[in-house]
């Protein structure tokens, strides 16, 4: 009897191997042969799942996006009664990839962003991801500002665009060491606080999630600080 193959599971396994190799070598160092070896499958198995390297990279990029969104959803589920403003704070903290345990994921994400500058297919995947996040942020900002009926939606869209760009920028600044995770968290917290101050008549406050664990430049731990 032929052995049943979990193709979806194998594709995820290969995507994880791509991400590990990309973290170590960058995307230019990712080859089908090395991916097969890292995933402990045959070259034929990789080629049956993905016809080309580009197709494999697109799937791996989508896999990273799914992991981030799963963490966002998990945080929202844990606090179902929270306000839209708090939900927004949790979501933007997760996608900023500021925590130490997400550092490898941040490196891989930025490697994909760099490659997308010369790959229309990867760029298309990224733009779709950003469009989904922009839509979610716009909705949460409108709801948090008690403006979900559509009035002022242009302002909510603009604020969502700004917040998404800020989150992306903080990922880079922390990754290269320009900011510590704690400093990036403070920037995010200040922006969210200012967002509601700019929203005429709105009262909800968006709080960024808890500051990332790990030592800062001064050797102190973010969890030991009073912010948050």
The pLDDT tens digits of the residues spanning 26-64 come to 998 899 999 999 999 999 999 999 999 999 999 999 999
Q: Are 143 and 205 in contact (CB under 8 A)?
A: no
Domain ranges of the chain: 7-224
Across the strands, what pairs with 215?
Answer: 221
Query: What's residue 214's pLDDT?
Result: 47
Would you state the structure tokens that stand for residue 174, as one six-digit string?
A: 């922390």
Q: Which CATH number fits domain 7-224: 3.40.50.800, 1.10.357.10, 3.40.50.1370, 2.40.110.10?
A: 1.10.357.10
By three-state DSSP, how is residue 46 classified? Answer: helix
| Cα 135–chain centre separation | 15
Low-confidence ranges of the chain (pLDDT < 50): 1-2, 147-151, 200, 202-205, 213-228
pTM: 0.78
Q: Are 168 and 133 in contact (CB under 8 A)?
A: no
Query: What's residue 211's pLDDT?
Result: 53
Query: What's residue 218's pLDDT?
Result: 38
Query: What's residue 43's pLDDT?
Result: 94
Would you state the structure tokens that stand for residue 117, as one six-digit string?
A: 């500058």
Across the strands, what pairs with 221?
Answer: 215
By three-state DSSP, how is residue 213 classified? Answer: coil
Q: Are 159 and 192 in contact (CB under 8 A)?
A: no
Q: Which residue has the tokens 């500058």?
A: 117
Would you state the structure tokens that stand for residue 228, as one six-digit string?
A: 């948050």
């Amino acid at each position: 009897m032929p052995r049943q193959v979990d193709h979806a599971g194998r594709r995820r396994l290969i995507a994880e191997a791509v991400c590990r190799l990309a973290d170590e070598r960058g995307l230019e160092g990712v080859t089908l042969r090395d991916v097969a070896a890292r995933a402990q499958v045959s070259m034929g198995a990789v080629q049956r799942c993905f016809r080309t390297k580009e197709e494999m990279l697109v799937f791996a990029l989508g896999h990273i996006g799914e992991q981030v969104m799963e963490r966002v959803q998990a945080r929202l589920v844990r606090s179902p009664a929270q306000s839209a403003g708090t939900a927004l704070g949790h979501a933007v903290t997760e996608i900023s990839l500021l925590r130490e345990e997400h550092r490898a994921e941040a490196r891989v994400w930025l490697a994909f962003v760099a490659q997308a500058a010369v790959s229309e297919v990867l760029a298309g995947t990224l733009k779709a991801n950003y469009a989904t996040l922009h839509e979610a942020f716009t909705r949460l900002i409108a709801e948090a500002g008690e403006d979900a009926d559509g009035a002022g939606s242009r302002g909510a869209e603009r604020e969502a665009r700004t917040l998404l760009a800020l989150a992306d920028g903080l990922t880079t600044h922390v990754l290269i060491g320009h900011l510590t995770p704690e400093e990036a968290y403070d920037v995010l917290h200040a922006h969210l606080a200012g967002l509601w101050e700019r929203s005429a008549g709105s009262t909800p406050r968006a709080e960024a999630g808890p500051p990332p664990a790990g030592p800062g430049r001064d050797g102190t731990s973010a969890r030991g600080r009073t912010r948050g």
